Structure 1
Amino acid sequence: MMEPALVDTGLGDAEDDDFDAHEAPDAVLPDHRYHDRELSWLAFNRRVLELAEDPSLPELERANFLAIFASNLDEFFMVRVAGLKRRILTGLAVPTNVGRSPSDVLSDISRDAYALQLRHAAVWNDLVRPALADAGIEITDWDDLTDAERGALGEYFQAQVFPVLMPLAVDPAHPFPYISGLSLNLAIRIRNARTGRQDFARLKVPTMLPRFVEVPGRSPITRFIRLEELIANHLGDLFPGMEVLDHHAFRLTRNEDVEIEEDESENLIQALEAELLRRRFGPPIRLEITEDMDDITLELLIRELDITDQEVYRLPGPLDLRGLFDLGRLDRPDLRYPPHLPTTAVAFQPGDSNERSDIFRAIRKADVLVHHPYESFATSVQAFLEQAARDPHVLAIKQTLYRTSGDSPIVQALIDAAESGKQVLALVEVKARFDEANNIVWARKLEKAGVHVVYGLVGLKTHCKLALIIRQEEGALRHYSHIGTGNYNPKTSRIYEDFGLFTADPQVGKDLTRLFNELSGYAIEKKFKHLLVAPRHLRKGLMRHIDAERANAEAGKPARIRIKVNSMVDEEIIDGLYRASMAGVKIDVWVRGICSLRVDLPGVSDNITVRSILGRYLEHSRLFMFENDGAPIVYIGSADMMHRNLDRRVEALVRLRDPAHLQELHDLFDLAMDPRTNSWHLGEGGEWKRVAEADGQPLLDLQDLTMASVQGRRRRSKRAIR
């Protein structure tokens, strides 16, 4: 077991960044030493799909994983596939991380993504839909309804659906309509009963209506019919006097990534708003159709949408299973995970049930490490900012905001603080992908309240999760800092696993003060004592620690590296891990998503173990742990091991120093890597194998065990108070 030591070698301080990782002797590494990042992402989404296939999970949770899979794949096409296509079309294509041409990778993506979508459809049709029916939730078809049920649904259609439908004809007087990205549509062929001429019409399925319409009666079974099927069986009402010959569902995915050419002389907000308008008209990159679509309709869509056969995905069953998110509103707790109420971190629990916890007093006593969603965001991060907003001794609040909810109490706390006369700085990252429009709205709301709003640095996204409070105490100023791994978003904090450090360490406060000043002023240039900050110092700092472990192993000293990230892609970091492995360093990598690191390279990756854990909560925290010859160095922060995080974003890692915190993270990692824990193991050829049971018995669930551990810590604390 790694025991925290009191000796500090100084290697944890970023001032030592004069070290150059390239000065270390290079071990010879094989040419083909990475997994393709795009195919590795598809492998991640396959792991999500395997959760939907798991019969041991509650039925509505399985349906939710199907919806997550669909949503993930949409974003993958809108961003990653769109980016590959754009580089090919503009002639800027460069070989991928495995040395292959983007066109070859696109072919592989098309093949693998199509196979995954077929599997996705089969999981719904053959596994999850029947399982829901057995549990009393039936997604039925029109042909299976009684006349009375059809009549009742017809009344619903006329009252609630028909008024909002907008059929668009295609003929010499009506050009082919614009098809919005991710919309579900019906392609309809009709014939004029009087002239005999055939025409085409497009009908968009309204997104503001429930995707699943409840069928009246038949209690205790709850029955639904898909909205598009209800509409399809009332097309005669939309085209009176016409004969409906055929109809088929289709769905288009467009390039919706935002490319902003930043210039210091232009208004970033105006440029972004213009780009968001252009996003709606991005070129098509995927056409999903039902398997029974006729050739005439398909040829028309291909021609009018200007896409290739390779971009057509013919699928069985319903399109756009993101609609399964709608089933989340059903009052069936027996078909979901058991409820879990986050606890208040022990340090923030009030001594008396009638008194309000004093967050600042708790932080002054000792650093506080919180683990969401097991420990409450509302009684830690949110309470921290709300107390600061109303505290007359607080002079200033500075915070980064990458993503947050529109009705966020975090935003309201900043507004309250500004309106009470405090100095408030909010660094709002308006370039946060797919949250750009929301971020612009509440950034302007903050500005109107008197908050100093900064939109970051030209050419960089600000992704770090930082809050700094300046408080006057006994004639001096004290810094209270929060550095986290996740966004300041109360909604996602209930489902995203993240860590956050609260500290009154004066050096951390000075580091954050300098960093905020640079973010609101000019580029990141300075070094920091207790932080590793991208884009200038974080990569070099991590490489320094990796190479220090390699040197320790070569000298016969204890050496170990443990890293938990969402994505492991960066080639320099991976090569550093390979060299450390070759020197005998034991390396554990815990990754949720993409992993370009290979474990099947004899003599190179023999000491590397890679695990992935997916489940009830989205594993989102980033941890970096180095043995350091018995004086452990541990960081938490916002950075994944990707080029964008290390080179094109402002990221921050903070070093943990409390021995209890180091032990907590060490124990968590032990559990994640334990062969008795339910997880996916990365193996030969980049294949991920789920290891969920042994000898017919289910393995341990890390998230359930963490829940129990945190609850037990709270119970022990209450007994101690009594």
Structure 2
Amino acid sequence: MSDANSVEKIIDVNSSEYYINRELSHLQFNIRVLEQALDETHPLLERLFFLCIFSKNLDEFYEVRVANLTRQLAFAREQAGADGMHPQQVLNAIHTLCSTTVERQYSILNDTLIPALEKENIHFLRRADWSEEQRVWVRAYFDDNIQPLISPIGLDPSHPFPRLVNKSLNFIVELEGKDAFGRETGMAIIPAPRSLPRIIRVPDALTSGGDHFIFLSSMIHEYADELFPGMTVKGCYQFRVTRNADLEIDHEDTADLASALEDELHSRNFGDEMRLEVADNCPEDMTLFLLKKFGLENNDLYRVNGPVNLGRLMEVIAQINRPDLQYPPFTPGLPKHINFKKSIFESIRDKDTLLLHPFESFTPVVDLLREAAKDPNVRAIKQTLYRTGAKSEIVNALVDAARNGKEVTVVIELRARFDEEENLYLANRLQEAGAVVVYGVVGYKTHAKMMLIVRKEGDKYKRYVHLGTGNYHAGNARAYTDYSFLTCDDSIGEDVHKVFQQLTGMGEALRIKKLFHAPFTLHKKLIEMVDRERGHAEAGKPALIRIKANGLTEPKLIRALYKAAQAGVKVELIIRGMCCLRPGIAGLSENIRVRSIVGRFLEHTRVYYFFNNGKDEIYAGSADMMERNLLHRVETAFPIENNKLKERMKNELEVYMQDNCQAWDLQPDGTYVRAQPGKNADIIKAQSLLLETLAASSS
């Protein structure tokens, strides 16, 4: 009996000690994003952008993940994952980690970024720094733009504590004296007008050059006493409450998903309270008063040294014309065989096309649909939409196709979190144009990225297909790394057709030849391929698994990877965000390496590579290795069978494994350590190398 086999019998791969809690792992990703704000290899305004992204990510974490844990406790539905942690334990750990990290975030802003911005003549002016001319301008701005919109609320029996909108900026005010009716309330609330910008640019004529900004909160602080005539404002402190924003729809009792969703969208702004952020100089009694009114505990409180919503600093970046402080622009590349002078259908017939966005252009995908909308030989177009964008060129082309008499069928996922309202609008627009719009399958989000075009060529129909790892969103295609695959392979075209049949019709699962399809075959096939690789290792053959995804949380797949590693399979995982697997544990996972790449672009590709005894198999797809994707969503994974394309994808995965600057390696305890180039070693940044290799130009 081999040593590996004897160890495998001793180690229980089901033991909770070998699994990292998914929520805490998610927070670790957000921390890696925050760390980019300190990375001086990023341009200065990009570092500010990373700080803002961390703030927005943390908002969503509380709106969804913390809300879910809190709901479990409230309704006695506690669920412990493979890590064995009780929801209350997880919430306690979240508070501990977030308290430290939020304090660090404000320290980075105040002690590092603001001084660095000031050296570049970019200033956030405090009230004490205003010149006399600026004070006159601020006064006029307050009188003309702020005061007419403000409705201060004195707190007394006839003015109960208001229900404040999710993540809105508010102020609690300490008052002294009596109002015109003789009331002596002591406290008031000032909700900041939601229609106003949170950061206002000072006119250049009032500065000595550079970029100068004043926070809306500073203006309200300055003139808060004028909102309460005859009374004295003893203190004015900003605060913000974060609410549960995860929509809940009872699918069994819902006859019309769109109508139900419209009803729920309004309630998102007034869900249960999850977190209170308050200025760090707010008196203890007023802070306790707010906690009581929101039904929150000390663990839900964050005292901050600065604006309560740092995500709004993103507004500043667009107002600063400093190309030297941002990434240089680039032109995405195009494969040589795609010629805009000929039909895109002809290019796809010539050869399968693989595009890696944003390094390569998303334009061929849009052009395929545009050409299909006008081509008299195109009879039908089928498309999935998850996140698309309000001004989507994809939707414009689908509308044109429907108006031109094509049979257009769109499966639009209304429940794409935080894009629900936009997707409702797009669904209505498509229906008005004559397209058939369906909302997928009740209980299963449609997350697959598929486009199918049926074209009459001679006396036969030819299917052209686009499959992707990312959404049909041109903006995301410039910011996220994603693969697009264009083919007219008959078997893949038939498979995609069958998946659309399942989404729009009803009936038993259809037999699919080449695609893996969640929730039916993808999970099973991935485990089978992992187990096959383990079999090769047990037979003494070389064995390698290399997977790139956004998350790895599904316990059965993790157990399969553990067993493969124990058998000697080399397992290399590039997991951007959540990873519940613990690498580097002797006798269990010393053959597993997990890394996360965080850089200029958001890593989003999902690729599954198996050495398979020298007969490489590569799949790309829409699914992460998570329970929701593999078991509760409609997903597809497609094979890359062309040898040149296989070799290309293998090389691109290898670049990510070699990255020694923007890679973070997961440790057995769940923390991450940033990779560092060794002495005299070449500096390798995966994203920079891919940009240099694939993009047309960078200037």
Task: Answer yes or no: same fold by TM over 0.5.
Answer: yes
Which secondary structure state, in structure 1, belongs to the residue aligned with residue 552 of structure 2?
Answer: coil
Residue 267 of structure 1 pairs with residue 229 of structure 2: no
Q: For structure 1, which runs of at least 5 residues remain unmatched after alignment?
A: 1-24, 716-722
Which secondary structure state, in structure 1, belongs to the residue aligned with residue 270 of structure 2?
Answer: coil
Contact 1:678 1:693 in 2 (8 A): no
Residue 341 of structure 1 pairs with residue 331 of structure 2: yes
Which secondary structure state, in structure 2, belongs to the residue aligned with residue 278 of structure 1?
Answer: helix
Aligned partner (choices 246, 259, 262) of residue 235 of structure 2: 246
Match of 1:84 in 2: 69
Shift of 1:325: 0.9
Contact 2:659 2:685 in 1 (8 A): no
Shift of 1:696: 8.7
Q: How does 1:604-619 map to 2 (within 5 A)?
A: 604-619=588-603
Match of 2:187 in 1: 200
**In structure 1, distance between residues paired with 2:602 and 2:334:** 20
CA 264–252 in structure 1, closer or farther in 2 if over 3 Å, else same:
closer
**In structure 1, distance between residues paired with 2:399 and 2:186:** 56
Q: For structure 2, which runs of at least 5 residues remain unmatched after alignment?
A: 1-7
Match of 1:320 in 2: 309
CA 678–435 in structure 1, closer or farther in 2 if over 3 Å, else same:
closer
Match of 1:282 in 2: 271
Between stretches 133-142 and 27-36, larger displacement belongs to: 27-36
Aligned partner (choices 671, 676, 693) of residue 655 of structure 2: 671
Which secondary structure state, in structure 2, belongs to the residue aligned with residue 478 of structure 1?
Answer: strand
Contact 2:23 2:65 in 1 (8 A): yes
Which secondary structure state, in structure 2, belongs to the residue aligned with residue 558 of structure 1?
Answer: coil
Match of 1:647 in 2: 631
Contact 2:549 2:575 in 1 (8 A): yes
Contact 2:533 2:569 in 1 (8 A): yes
The one-letter code of the counterpart of 1:334 is D
The one-letter code of the counterpart of 1:247 is C
Match of 1:224 in 2: 213
Shift of 1:690: 0.9
Shift of 1:188: 1.2
Match of 1:298 in 2: 287
Contact 2:155 2:185 in 1 (8 A): no
Shift of 1:693: 4.2
Contact 2:584 2:592 in 1 (8 A): no
Between stretches 89-98 and 462-471, larger displacement belongs to: 89-98
Q: Give a deviation string over 1:330-365, Cα, whole Å, max 9, x none.
A: 211111011122123333233xxxx3x421100001
Contact 2:380 2:453 in 1 (8 A): yes
Match of 1:109 in 2: 94
Q: How does 1:329-408 map to 2 (within 5 A)?
A: 329=318, 330-350=320-340, 355=341, 357-377=342-362, 379-408=363-392
Shift of 1:298: 1.4
Aligned partner (choices 217, 226, 245) of residue 237 of structure 1: 226
Match of 2:408 in 1: 424
Contact 1:345 1:376 in 2 (8 A): no
Shift of 1:454: 0.6
CA 415–289 in structure 1, closer or farther in 2 if over 3 Å, else same:
same
Q: Give a deviation string over 1:243-264, Cα, whole Å, max 9, x none.
A: 1111101010001111211027
**In structure 1, distance between residues paired with 2:292 and 2:674:** 43
Residue 213 of structure 1 pairs with residue 200 of structure 2: yes
**In structure 2, distance between residues paired with 1:548 and 1:93:** 36
Match of 2:160 in 1: 175
Shift of 1:193: 4.9
Contact 1:48 1:65 in 2 (8 A): yes
**In structure 1, distance between residues paired with 2:311 and 2:233:** 28
**In structure 2, distance between residues paired with 1:131 and 1:692:** 25
Task: Give percent identity, aligned residues only.
Answer: 39
Which secondary structure state, in structure 2, belongs to the residue aligned with residue 488 of structure 1?
Answer: coil
**In structure 1, distance between residues paired with 2:494 and 2:691:** 35
Q: How does 1:42-121 map to 2 (within 5 A)?
A: 42-121=27-106
**In structure 2, distance between residues paired with 1:597 and 1:683:** 10
Q: Give a deviation string over 1:611-662, Cα, whole Å, max 9, x none.
A: 1111110000100001111111100110001100011100000000111111
**In structure 1, distance between residues paired with 2:128 and 2:270:** 38
The two structures have a TM-score, normalised by structure 1, of 0.92
RMSD of equivalent CA atoms? 1.8
**In structure 2, distance between residues paired with 1:512 and 1:414:** 18
Aligned partner (choices 113, 128, 136) of residue 151 of structure 1: 136
Aligned partner (choices 612, 620, 635) of residue 636 of structure 1: 620
Shift of 1:676: 4.0
Between stretches 616-625 and 235-244, larger displacement belongs to: 235-244
Shift of 1:565: 0.3
Q: Give a deviation string over 1:433-471, Cα, whole Å, max 9, x none.
A: 111111111101111111000101011000000000000
**In structure 2, distance between residues paired with 1:209 and 1:348:** 46
**In structure 1, distance between residues paired with 2:207 and 2:298:** 44
CA 336–265 in structure 1, closer or farther in 2 if over 3 Å, else same:
closer
The two structures have a TM-score, normalised by structure 2, of 0.95
Match of 1:477 in 2: 461
CA 234–523 in structure 1, closer or farther in 2 if over 3 Å, else same:
farther
**In structure 1, distance between residues paired with 2:262 and 2:680:** 56
**In structure 2, distance between residues paired with 1:523 and 1:152:** 68
CA 418–26 in structure 1, closer or farther in 2 if over 3 Å, else same:
farther
Q: How does 1:483-494 map to 2 (within 5 A)?
A: 483-494=467-478
Which secondary structure state, in structure 1, belongs to the residue aligned with residue 18 of structure 2?
Answer: coil
Which secondary structure state, in structure 2, belongs to the residue aligned with residue 348 of structure 1?
Answer: coil
**In structure 1, distance between residues paired with 2:149 and 2:642:** 60
The one-letter code of the counterpart of 1:711 is A
Match of 2:492 in 1: 508
CA 675–401 in structure 1, closer or farther in 2 if over 3 Å, else same:
closer
Contact 1:191 1:199 in 2 (8 A): yes
Which secondary structure state, in structure 2, belongs to the residue aligned with residue 344 of structure 1?
Answer: coil
Between stretches 468-477 and 212-221, larger displacement belongs to: 212-221
Contact 1:678 1:699 in 2 (8 A): no
**In structure 2, distance between residues paired with 1:73 and 1:190:** 33
Match of 2:23 in 1: 38
CA 293–532 in structure 1, closer or farther in 2 if over 3 Å, else same:
same
The one-letter code of the counterpart of 2:332 is P
